[in-house]
Amino acid sequence: MADPVSEQLLRRAERRIPGGVNSPVRAFAAVGGHPVFIEEARGAYVTGADGTVYVDYVGSWGPMIVGHAHPEVVEAIQTAAAKGTSYGAPTEAEILMAEEIQQAYPHMEMSRLVSSGTEATMGALRLARGFTGRDLVVKCDGGYHGGADYLLVKAGSGAATLGEPNSAGVPASVASTTAILPYNDLAAAEALFAARGREIAAFIVEPVAGNMGCVPPKEGWLEGLRALCDAHGALLVFDEVMTGFRVAYGGATERYGVVPDLTCLGKIVGGGLPVGAYGGREEVMRKVAPLGPVYQAGTLSGNPLAVAAGRKTLELLRAEGVYERLEAIAGSVGSMLAEVAAEVGVVCTVQRVGAMLTCFFKEGPVECWDDADSCDRAAFARWHQGLLAHGVYWPPSPFEAAFPSLAHDDEALHKTRAALKPAFEAAARGGASA
């Protein structure tokens, strides 16, 4: 890809920012070349620093479900900003947001707003430990739940892309408070609970994995975790930062009918601005300060701009037929991927849940991190470069989900399809063909 403007900006950024980026996956280490610096975004498109327009499937890593710069969301932010950008004090809008979250997630009888998904998972797990009086947290190999020290243990997504599944700087004593299991392996979960059930405070899981690529739960997986947590007095925590309001209005909880004790939200709930939330039944949430002994605070929690953007986005998502449209759009993208790959003769597996999907360069199904990790990374890199050269901006990692939006109209889908054949042909040029 020839984008001298972005390359110049990267060199400049590298002098002041580690790797030239403020989040590792943006560095394009998994796909080669250099990252595209974005100038602006509207609808289904982002514009690079050199003026090239791309059909966007990153969507700011999930939040832009109604499209970039949706006029009603922008207006809501502008209206809020005119009244002040931050108060550090309670507002009625925060109450309305909590009420709207509870309507979508009935088990979230009380919730606490924070400023990121990482803060949401940290708060939920501290609460789980405080509520149960136990220390051990269980997560899945390849599951990423934010940057807390005790969660950066065999993490997927960006950490795996960089070949460092265990982050430096995490003390062994901290890592020892987290146990790791394969995703979708109920027998392994049963064995761990049998051996250490009295130590386990919480099992945190993405109900649909998204940080090893889109990996759906096998039948009985979520139900089995619910039963194990009930039997051993642990809390089941759903990390719905990615799936919340995306795979259904009530997220994976609605889609699969399994109710956790605590849910973590982010991304869409902020409408593209920094926000997160965690919550659950009142009995548990009353342990959070100032009601209880579990401390958590944040200067910008409940920020009025973020709350305004989130509430307007949720309002747009409540319109009739929205999720049917999202299913149709994402289904079209998934079908195109599978059809063109077969036409070119490239081995790949397309997995989709609602409006999130991944194209794995291997035979499927992909059910856990080990499956995802065995995909053809070199073929993915060539494919990604081919897409970029033909005007499609796809997540620059084989272990990230792509996010179609309501703004992906027929024109955007047509441009996507036109880019797929040369991209798959590029992937096939290194032995990825059938």
3-state secondary structure of 267: helix
3-state secondary structure of 361: coil
Query: Closest Cα partner for 269 from 108, 131, 158?
Result: 108
Dihedral (Cα; 21, 125, 243, 196), 10-degree rounding: 110
Task: Determine whether 149 is an active site residue.
Answer: no
Active-site residue identified among 45, 105, 144, 150: 144
Sign of CA dihedral 352, 353, 358, 360: negative
Q: Where are the alpha helices (DSSP H) in 50-132?
A: 71-81, 92-104, 117-132
Residues in a beta bridge with 402: 357
Contact 45, 56 (CB under 8 A): yes
Task: Determine whether 83 is an active site residue.
Answer: no
Q: Is the peptide bond before 290 cis (omega within 30 degrees of 0)?
A: yes
360: region left, alpha or beta (phi > 0 left; psi from -120 to 50 alpha): beta
Residues in a beta bridge with 182: 141
Task: Determine whether 256 is an active site residue.
Answer: no
Contact 159, 147 (CB under 8 A): no
What would the two tokens of residue 364 be? 């499927």
Active-site residue identified among 139, 154, 267, 312: 267
Active-site residue identified among 56, 141, 185, 239: 239
Catalytic residues: 144, 239, 267
